[in-house]
């Protein structure tokens, strides 16, 4: 694990410098140039991600979890004497702020779902929920319009395929690798044009306003991401340890597509990120920029107008993830 705050100024410097240089380039470049095309191969994404249905409401953030095999939650962790619970997949839906949250969990069986309902009744946190077979839908109890809309969508099964509802967002995932070093378990996106990221910053006591304003200025309206894991996750009292988390070798890839011309990004990306303290070197004809981030490594690169960020627990692994995108 690493401390985000310790390197906050370095990361802020990266995005600020990049944004300013990209804005300057608009006055210098009149030819938009060719934009980056998606990978020819099919990207490797979490199982079921492209087919999962989402409520027919506006989403500023979305997270989908599926590790192909069930996520087993041990009964000892739940302080229950009954059987363990197996989760097939889960989704998190985010509206305009952190008071606008909904989700769904698909269990391995209806019996698992019923046990989960019983456990939820013992939770003191206010929560609206609805069981439908082996799926449980939930939302916070905020009385806002967005929360009312998602509850209505859950209740009346007003669900749609996100590929049709968010075509631009789904196109981002075509830029992810088809052969990453480990298996994807989570995929999602966060819009940067609304208030959601700033709201998250307030909740987590991290100032993210500078990042969102810079991303907007750089022509990046959303960040799409995939999280990878070296082995399936099991949740129990024995696995809630730093050693177990380290053994998972959790890594992440993020993609941001700039609306600026490819030639502008290519001309100024290197200068912007090197001046922020990142080290540039080349592997297999791919320029990458790396920075140690506590007990992890962060690496950045670009292809045309697409910017890639990789985070992994080791230099070797972060290099493999970034190279898999090219």
Alpha-carbon distance 102 to 141, whole Å? 10
Whether the CB-CB separation of 307 and 255 falls below 8 Å is answered with: yes
Alpha-carbon distance 118 to 121, whole Å? 5
Alpha helices in the chain (DSSP H): 8-26, 110-120, 145-155, 162-165, 167-172, 196-204, 209-217, 242-248, 262-274, 315-323
* Backbone φ, ψ for residue 234 (5° rounding): -125, 135
Tens place of pLDDT per residue across the chain (326 aa): 445 454 555 555 555 555 544 444 333 333 334 456 665 568 999 999 988 999 999 999 999 999 999 998 887 766 555 678 899 999 999 999 888 999 999 999 999 998 888 877 777 777 899 999 999 999 988 778 999 999 999 999 999 988 788 888 888 999 999 999 999 999 999 988 888 877 777 777 666 666 666 666 667 888 999 999 999 988 877 777 888 888 999 999 999 988 888 887 777 777 777 777 789 999 999 999 998 877 889 899 988 889 899 999 999 999 999 999 99
- Tally the C-alpha atoms within 13 A of residue 325's C-alpha that lie toward its C-beta: 32
Give DSSP secondary structure letters for 93-129: EE-SSTT-EEEEEEESSHHHHHHHHHHHTT--S--EE
pTM metric for this prediction: 0.85
- Tally the C-alpha atoms within 13 A of residue 165's C-alpha that lie toward its C-beta: 17
Alpha-carbon distance 288 to 285, whole Å? 10
Partners of residue 188 on adjacent β-strands = 63, 225
| Cα four-point dihedral sign 18, 23, 29, 33 | positive
State residue 260's pLDDT score: 81
Alpha-carbon distance 46 to 50, whole Å? 9
Would you kindly state where each structural domain of the chain is located, as residue ranges?
Answer: 5-43+164-323, 54-160
Alpha-carbon distance 112 to 134, whole Å? 7
In the block, residue with structure tokens 């830029």: 175
State residue 208's pLDDT score: 65
Partners of residue 311 on adjacent β-strands = 252, 298
State residue 122's pLDDT score: 73
DSSP 187: E
């Amino acid at each position: 694990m690493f401390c985000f705050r310790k390197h906050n100024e370095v990361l802020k410097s990266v995005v600020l410098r990049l944004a300013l240089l990209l804005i300057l380039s608009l006055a210098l470049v009149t030819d938009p140039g060719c934009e980056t095309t998606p990978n020819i191969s099919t990207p490797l994404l979490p199982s079921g991600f492209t087919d999962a249905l989402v409520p027919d409401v506006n989403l500023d953030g979305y997270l989908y979890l599926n590790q192909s095999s069930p996520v087993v939650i041990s009964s000892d962790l739940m302080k229950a004497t009954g059987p363990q619970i197996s989760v097939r997949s889960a989704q998190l839906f985010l509206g305009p702020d952190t008071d606008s949250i909904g989700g769904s969990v698909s269990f391995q069986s209806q019996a698992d779902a019923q046990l989960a309902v019983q456990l939820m009744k013992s939770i003191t946190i206010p929560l609206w929920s609805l069981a439908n077979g082996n799926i449980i839908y939930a939302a916070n109890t905020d009385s806002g319009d967005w929360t009312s809309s998602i509850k209505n969508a859950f209740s009346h099964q007003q669900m749609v395929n996100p590929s049709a509802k968010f075509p631009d967002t789904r196109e981002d995932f075509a830029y992810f690798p088809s052969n990453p070093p480990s298996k994807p378990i989570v995929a999602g996106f966060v819009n940067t044009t609304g208030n959601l990221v700033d709201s998250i910053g307030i909740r987590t006591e991290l100032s993210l306003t500078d990042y969102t304003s810079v991303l907007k200025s750089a022509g990046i309206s959303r960040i799409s991401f995939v999280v990878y894991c070296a082995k399936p996750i099991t949740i129990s009292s024995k696995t809630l340890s730093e050693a177990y988390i380290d053994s998972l070798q959790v890594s992440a890839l993020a993609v941001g597509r700039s609306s600026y011309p490819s030639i502008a990004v290519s001309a100024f990306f290197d200068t912007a990120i090197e001046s922020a303290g990142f080290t540039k070197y080349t592997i297999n004809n791919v320029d990458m920029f790396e920075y140690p981030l506590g007990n992890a490594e962060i690496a950045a690169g670009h292809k045309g107008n697409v910017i890639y960020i990789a985070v992994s627990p080791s230099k070797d692994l972060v290099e493999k993830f970034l190279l898999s995108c090219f």
